[in-house]
A and B are shown apart, each in its own frame.
Chain A
Amino acid sequence: MARVSIDPVTRIEGHLRIDVEVDAGAVQKAWACCTMWRGIETILKGRDAREGWVFAQRFCGVCTTVHAMASVRAVEDALQLEIPANAQYIRNLILIAHALHDHIVHFYHLSALDWVDVTAIPMADPARAASIADGISAWPGNSHHELEAVQNKVKGLVASGQLGIFSHGYWGHPAMRLSPEMNLLLFAHYLQALDFQRKSNQVVGILGGKTPHIQNLAVGGVMNAINLNSLATMNMDRLEMLKSLLQDLIPFVQQAYFVDACLLAGSYPEWFDYGRGVANYLAVPDLPLDARATQFDLPGGIIMNGDLRSIRPVVDWHDQAIRGAVAEDVTHAWYQGKGALKPWQGKTDPDYTDFQDEGKYSWVKAPRYDGKPMQVGPLSNILVGYASAHPLTRKWTDAALDRISSLHGSRVAVDRLQSTMGRYVARAIRSAMLSDMAIKHCQLLTDNILRGNAATYNPPEFPQHEVAGVGMHEAPRGTLSHWVVIDKGVFSNYQAVVPTTWNASPRDEKGIPGPYETSLLGNPVADPSKPLEVLRTVHSYDPCMACACHTLDATGREIAQVKVL
């Protein structure tokens, strides 16, 4: 038996350590450890509730927008404050653009290199690659010349012997099985993705006033001024500009990213057999369509034990079950005490003990729903939408399954998405859906403005007694909730239950492991000194531990340490 410790896991946002025990070529036991203090929300206590979001968006350097959004929603919930429909649409557009950006970066820049062998690209025939691409996608960036140019760049890089950032890949690993042509195709999109990362960033910038830290939010709405007769405010020109930026994004998402994810799934079908993990799924509704947030464009729901028929819809953010059933357990986390507390009563008092297999071993708390671990993220999103017969989810999921089935040669059913590969595919499905929604919400905003509605803000009023609220958001990595207690306009408690906390959760008081840990069990490991397969499953969640960035060790340790037990 070998104990493999991957520290830090690379190509993620933030710092994560994964320990696995490998025997007979498969993982037998796993631990997920967040190596960073994550109690940053304590800085919010005692601050004015109206400006909490400005601080909250510094929790994480990468998902700034989502924390800002959850924070204003939490305060609005506590005050039962409606926001104007324009404000909903503007927020939705920001969230969509942010999510598209995030998913594109995850697929190409953070995870593709677990599947794509850069060193095989020089062997590819660019003409053949172009003709393969032509058969499956209308994407214009797949021309013979474009692919040849990319190949030449990679040839230069490989010949120089200085692979730079690519020097730590597990190149030539037996689990890398794409043809040289497919490697070339996906890597060409890896480079093209940089342009689309910029475009979605511009959408956030135009609406948010600034990126990466948007400036346009307020408790009660947004601060975007709308006046069709003013050059300086949101007007028709500005709306047209937004629409054209969004329209530029769609082909890349639907013809490159979506097709690539299906291609990958069709080429590595065995990864539908691994990584199922915790099969309880949680998603909250998002993209509200009206001022009071009663209708949503993305459905929410809860699925237990992987049974899609068991779905319990979560129709809005007032869902009493979620409010009552979420608790965070600290038995195996570096916080004082043991057992679980509900977020409104939550505490964040550190108690660091070093890594103890059977004791405390992570800075991440263990969130539980009704005492059960839950998986969150695009897969939960898609399964909930599919189970509730949401038309747009069905359209794109069926399209993906058709593509994968035809590559694979036999029918791949929706249940197979409950796997490592399913999480990659679900993220691409969600992106295709969101790109459709982007145009819709841009139109909703335009129509509402043309009907003469210019309101964007309802001023908040704080009562003289204590109120509590929760702000929910279905973020790129899954369900995010900020839980606040406000006394006379000032936060007296603030807890953020973030998506990666759900997924990277350590064991709880009953010893039940979290989704990362569970999904690694049975995961193949051909060579413990090159645990590529472990990375594939961990990366499938898009880990983001960066909720507090910390300085790193400059001594340059090995990434994977193997100990024979």
Chain B
Amino acid sequence: MTQRHSAALGRICVIGLGNVLLGDDGFGPLVVERFRCEYNYDATVEVLDLGSPGLDLAPYLHGKDLVLIADAVHSNDTPGTLCFYSQTALLDRKALLHLTAHDPGVGQCLAQLKLAGHAPSEVFILGVVPESVALGSGISASVSAAVPAAVQSIATLLCDYGAPCKRRIVQEKPNLWWRSSLPGETCRADFMIKQGIDHKIAQDQRQFLFWIAREMQG
């Protein structure tokens, strides 16, 4: 695969879609968070949990070389089955054939960006067939079993596109805050507030330097 603007910051976007409070709908956010913690990758890759943004997805697809979206998808396959779809599959479908729960947003954003000349060059959907999307912050056993393979396939796809990533020996602990405890277990709020300002400075700084670098390069 040809490498384009290989040095460009954030030219590749790995996006998790879905509502973490609705069972298996939280597959996307879970998978990208696990990927972020288990792999090393360079600054060409941005990893984002975007929830279910509808049309607000567009800014994150704008001008990218490669977008990989992890999401729950519809299919007659058994729950937990993983599947890949390309951009053509998304755009060619009639608007009513919803591939994923968030497809009206994905499809419309892609079509708009294409007309405006800012569509991403390549888009892939990494889907899982959900077992249950009922209210609750955990995912089912069948979907859970598919997570390691999903995380690994993100890495494989990025390597295919010239963005090498390597599995870390020392992995970060994933921040799965939505599974945070109910009373009786330890509460995270104290920790959050204590760490808040330090964390905020670090995050602000990172995001800010990232933007500056991107602006200068553009």
| Residues of A in contact with B (beta carbons under 8 Å apart) | 10, 13-14, 37, 39-40, 42-43, 46-48, 50-51, 54-55, 58, 61-62, 64, 101, 105, 109-110, 153-154, 157, 164-168, 190-192, 194, 197-198, 201-202, 205-206, 209-210, 212-213, 215-216, 218, 223-225, 231-234, 238, 457, 459, 490, 546, 548-554, 556-557, 559
- Partner pick for A201 among B56, B102, B133, B137, CB 8 A cutoff: B56
Within 8 A of A (CB), among B172-218: 177-178, 180, 182-183, 187-189, 192-193, 196-197, 199-205, 207-208, 211
Structural contact, A223 and B53, CB atoms closer than 8 A: no
- Asked if B135 contacts A549 (CB within 8 A), the reply is no
Q: Are B135 and A42 in contact (CB under 8 A)?
A: yes
| B120 sits at the interface (CB 8 A) | no
Kindly state whether residue B157 has any CB partner on chain A within 8 Å.
no
Q: Could you list which residues of chain B lie within 8 angstroms of chain A, going by C-beta atoms?
A: 18-22, 25, 49-56, 58-59, 62, 72, 74-75, 91, 94-99, 101-104, 107-108, 111-113, 115-116, 118, 130, 133, 135-137, 177-178, 180, 182-183, 187-189, 192-193, 196-197, 199-205, 207-208, 211
A50-B192 in contact given A55-B21, A209-B200 (Cβ < 8 Å): yes
Please provide the 7 A-B residue pairs with the shortest distance between their CB atoms, ordered closest to farther.
A61-B52, A554-B74, A50-B189, A549-B52, A556-B96, A551-B101, A198-B59
Of all chain A residues, the one with the shortest Cβ separation from B202 is A232
Asked whether A109 lies within 8 Å of B135 as measured between CB atoms, the reply is no
Contacts of B53 in A (CB 8 A): 61-62, 212
Q: Is the CB of A167 within 8 A of B192?
A: no
> Do A13 and B116 have beta carbons less than 8 Å apart?
no
Residues of chain B within 8 A of A164, CB atoms compared: 91, 95, 107, 111
The verdict on A209 contacting B52 (CB below 8 Å), with A40-B135, A58-B20 known, is no
Which of A40, A157, A164, A550 gathers the greatest number of chain B CB atoms within 10 Å?
A164
User: With A48-B187, A549-B22 as given contacts, are A58 and B59 in contact (CB-CB < 8 Å)?
Assistant: no
B56 with A105: CB separation less than 8 A: yes
Distance from B19 Cβ to chain A, minimum over Cβ atoms (Å) = 5
Instruction: Given A206-B207, A559-B96, decide whether A165 and B107 contact each other with a Cβ distance below 8 A.
Output: yes
Minimum Cβ distance to chain A for residue B134 (Å): 9
Beyond A50-B192, A198-B58, 9 additional contacts (C-beta under 8 Å) are A48-B188, A48-B189, A54-B177, A190-B112, A194-B118, A212-B51, A223-B197, A232-B205, A233-B201
Partner of A62, one of B54, B94, B203: B54
Q: Is the CB–CB distance between B200 and A224 below 8 Å?
A: yes
CB of B107 within 8 A of CB of A215, answer no
Do A215 and B200 have beta carbons less than 8 Å apart?
A: yes
Task: Identify which of B103, B189, B199 gathers the most chain A CB atoms within 10 Å of its CB.
Answer: B189
- A194 B72 Cβ-Cβ under 8 A: no
How far is the CB of B28 from the nearest CB of chain A, in Å?
Answer: 11
11 contacts between A and B (CB under 8 A): A10-B104, A14-B54, A194-B58, A194-B113, A206-B208, A209-B207, A210-B203, A223-B200, A232-B202, A233-B201, A559-B96
Whether B183 and A490, one on each chain, are in contact in the complex, defined by CB atoms closer than 8 angstroms, is yes
Chain A neighbourhood of B62, CB < 8 A: 194, 198
Nearest chain A residue, comparing its CB with the CB of B72: A551
Q: How far is A223 from B56 in the complex, measured between Cα atoms in Å?
A: 25
B55 touches A40 (CB 8 A): no
Residue of A nearest to B101 (CB): A551
> Are B133 and A43 in contact (CB-based, < 8 A)?
no
The answer to whether A62 and B56 touch across the interface, beta carbons within 8 angstroms, is yes
Q: With a CB–CB cut-off of 8 A, which chain A residues contact B104?
A: 10
B56 touches A101 (CB 8 A): yes
Report A-chain residues with C-beta under 8 Å of the C-beta of B205. Answer: 231-232
Chain A residues, CB < 8 A from B72: 551
Give CA–CA (A234, B200) in the complex, Å: 11
Q: Are A64 and B55 in contact (CB under 8 A)?
A: no
